[in-house]
Amino acid sequence: MAKKPVKYYVVDAFTDSAFKGNPAAVCLLEEDKNDYWFQSVAAEFNISETCYLTSIHGTSIPRFGLRWFTPVSEVNLCGHATLAAAQTLFSTGLVDNNVIEFVTLSGILTAKKIPASNVTSAQNDEAKDTFYIELDFPADPIAESNSDDTSLISEALNGASIIDIKRTKNGDDLLVVVSSGKNVTEVEPQLDVIGKIAGRGVIVTGIAPSESGFDFYSRYFCPKFGINEDPVCGSAHCSLATYWSKKLGKCDLNAYQASARGGAINIHLDEQKQRVFLRGKAITVMEGCILV
């Protein structure tokens, strides 16, 4: 029997401009596939994340199974691909609701469609009919780093002006604070050295320039998972929100990921519930079918 083609969309997340932000492939499944197929398709797309949606019936709120794969591995949590999945479902009319639930390896995550007028952002909204998507994610606590690799970290960031090093508890990333947002943009990562550092990846962050309208800048490097630099990493902001909220003394933050593609995230931290609400836009840039 011939295999049914799998519909997919490629969505640029945390941006309202095509070919900016972070691209994710969203695949809509109507029948079961095995993990080998998932990983092979993700390797074929060869972008930071490919995700797979499976409809779950019989719930009052639209619910979907959601899995995320980098070109080399499945991951437990991905912000930008979740945003891309929600954008696909909202914009194509596949759901007739303003809230979607995703069943994931990190539990049930929700995505909510909210009008742009309800969001305070560093970026101006020109179109009145545009909307943001709000993701409800678990906060990632910050811990002291026990790493003895300070010199290795400095080498990995090519001598960047490091002022603090922390570790994220859930993501097992190093969070490296540098002297300024400008320093973040100037970092020249030595990926082979980053690959030798214990943990998953390295988040580099610094206070944003006062004239930028943002609170902080960041970049994220994760060569161990086949992502040399993730253009805009939603899950990294679950720890960045925890760090900068305490540092700046506020729960509402505007963040900019200063990769070559760049992207903006509006953040609210609910410290009591230990939840991070990530708000961003997304734009669908292509669609097609997987034939095998």
Q: Please indicate, yes or no, whether residues 85 and 104 belong to a single structural domain of this protein.
A: yes
SS (H, E, C) 110-133: EEEEEEHHHCCCCCCCCCCCCEEE
Same domain, 86 and 202: no
Which of 31, 49, 134, 144 is an active site residue? Answer: 49
Q: How far apart are the first and last CA of the chain?
A: 12
Residues 129, 231: one domain? no
Q: Per the domain annotation, does 271 fall within a domain?
A: no
Q: Which residues partner with 11 through β-bridges?
A: 24, 284
- Structural domain for 154, as ranges: 142-266
Based on the fold, state whether residues 231 and 136 are members of the same structural domain: no
In a domain, residue 272? The reply is: no
Query: What 8-state DSSP symbol labels residue 191?
Result: H
| CA 247 to chain centroid | 22
Q: How far apart are CA 5 and CA 141, in angstroms?
A: 42
Given a contact cutoff of 8 angstroms between Cβ atoms, the answer to whether 122 and 254 are in contact is yes
> The whole model's pTM is what?
0.95
- pLDDT confidence bin for 125, thresholds 50/70/90: low
| Kind plus residue range of the DSSP H or E element containing 283 | strand 282-290
Do 181 and 216 fall into the same domain?
A: yes
Q: Are residues 74 and 198 in the same domain?
A: no
Asked if residue 147 and residue 133 are part of one domain, the reply reads no
Within a domain: 286: yes
160 and 253 within one domain? yes
Whole-number percent of the chain with pLDDT over 90: 90
Judge whether 49 counts as a catalytic residue. Answer: yes
Give the tokens for residue 40. Answer: 């092979």
pLDDT at 119: 81
The pLDDT score that the predictor gives to residue 124 is 56
Residue 96 has pLDDT above 80, yes or no: yes
Residue 147 has pLDDT above 80, yes or no: no
pLDDT, one tens digit per residue, over 203-254 is: 999 999 999 999 999 999 999 999 999 999 999 999 999 999 999 999 999 9
Residues 162 and 60 in one domain: no
